[in-house]
Every structure is written in C-alpha cells, then in structure tokens.
Amino acid sequence: MAEPFGIAAGAISITVAFTACVDCFGYVQLGRHFGRDFQTDLLALDCARLRLTRWGQAVNIYDDPKLGRPDATPSEIQTAKDTLHQILVLFADTERISKKYVLNSKAGDDLSILAPDGMGPAVMGLRNKMREPAIKRWALYHRSELRDLIENLTSLIDNIEKIFPTPQPQLALVKQEAAEIQDKQALRLVESAAQNVDGLLQAAAKEALTGHHDWKGEVRGASHRYDGVEVDKDGKALIGNKFGGKDFWDD
C-alpha cells in the first residue's frame, strides 16, 4: 500500500504525524445529497478531531517526547506513533474511495458538495469553532463511509489514550471547550454528536446544559442516577449501594 499522503511511518517524528492527522480532518466534505439529515454525523467527525487535539495538548506532544509519562518506553512511544499513522491510513483509504466514486460516476450523478448554507446556523457555528479551514478537500458520498471512518477513528483514539492517559489535563480542557459554547441548542447538538465518540465532551456538554457542576470526569463501570428525590422531615433515603454492616434502616 502506498504511504498515506506521502508520509512514511518510520521516517517522520510523532509530532509531524500528529499534525498531519489533525489536518486530515479538515479535508473531509460531504456530497450535497447528504443534506441536513447528516449534520450530526459531520459534527461527530469534528468531535473526534477535537478529542485528538485535546489529547495532544494534554500530553504536551510538541514539547514532551515522553508524552506526559516519564516512564514511557520506546516501544510505547512507537505504538503511539504507529496509531497516528493508522489514522492517516484511514483518511487515505477514505480519500481513495471518494476518488473512485467520482471516476465511476455516471452522467446525472450529483457530485456537488454540501455548501455551508445547506447546514443549519447552529451547526455551522459549531463547525467554525471546532475545526480549522483546509485548502485540500475531498468529498464523501455515502453515509456508511462516513460512519465507518468515525468509528475507526474513535477506536484508534481510544487506543492511544489508553497508552498515554491524561485524565486531569483533559478534564480541564474539555470543560473550557464546553464553556465556550454558550447556546443551548449548540450544546444539545454537541451532546448528541459526541455520543460514542467523545465521552468527556458529551458529559461536559450535558453538565453545561443542566447546570450541575459535581461531575469529575468520565464515569467508568456501573453508576446510578437520581432525579427529583424529595425527603420529608425526619425521613430517610438511601442513595447508592449498601455493602454489609449495620443496616441503614436500623436505629
């Protein structure tokens, strides 16, 4: 297979690979026939980009060769670099599918691009905040290709975060990101688009919408949710799990 975008996996630094990955997100456009029904999918791609850039900022990728982990081994650094290269491969493969579709298109096929005014104003405002303009662009014409791209990107970002986790810096950054989105409609769009793509952003958007400020990061494992709990005077309520010992209800 040809190297994606002319970048050889072993010949570049991890910072160059990271920058190339972030740039690739800006190359993707949608065919006009996607219409507004696919705005959430496009925002999900933006969420994946934001998640990757947040990780890079949290590990100080441009200044810290150990990616925030002094004990990181050369093998782990290489695995992170290989993962970024796989992201480039995903984009390169998707671009080839796009070009093949154009080459094999028939007379009358709509190959036009979804223009900015074809999206809702809230979506356009969010996209302007979440992505940088790109000169080189190519289009996707099938929803399945876009969803496959998002799913595979999310899986690769999962992998790189597991090797170099930075929960506290990322938590601080994602709260800043959510705070910059003032419009409630936009926050709802982000919460929906970030589902299964960026758990931190989804939770931060939800927190911003509800006004609850006791969330401390991504929830792992079983959890409980309680809404509208009221306890009368001298009443009792057990919130959470009980594990042995004296029973809560014993006086």
Mean pLDDT (10-residue bins), the chain, 251 residues: 50 88 83 61 90 96 95 95 94 80 57 50 57 54 82 96 95 92 88 94 93 51 40 48 42 47
The verdict on pTM exceeding 0.85 is no
- H-only helix segments in the chain: 14-25, 39-58, 74-103, 121-130, 143-163, 167-179, 184-193, 199-210
DSSP 8-state assignment for residue 109:
-
* All domains in the chain, ordered by first residue: 4-210 (1.20.120.1020)
Structure-token match 């999900």, residue found: 44
pLDDT at position 230 is 47
pLDDT at position 188 is 92
Distance (Å, rounded) from C-alpha 118 to C-alpha 134?
19
pLDDT at position 120 is 57
pLDDT at position 245 is 43
Kindly report, residue by residue over 69-116, the tens digit of the pLDDT. 999 999 999 999 999 999 999 998 888 877 775 565 556 555 455 444
N- to C-terminal Cα separation, the chain: 72
User: Residue 33 corresponds to which amino acid?
Assistant: H
**Phi, psi dihedral angles at 32 (to 5 degrees):** -60, -30
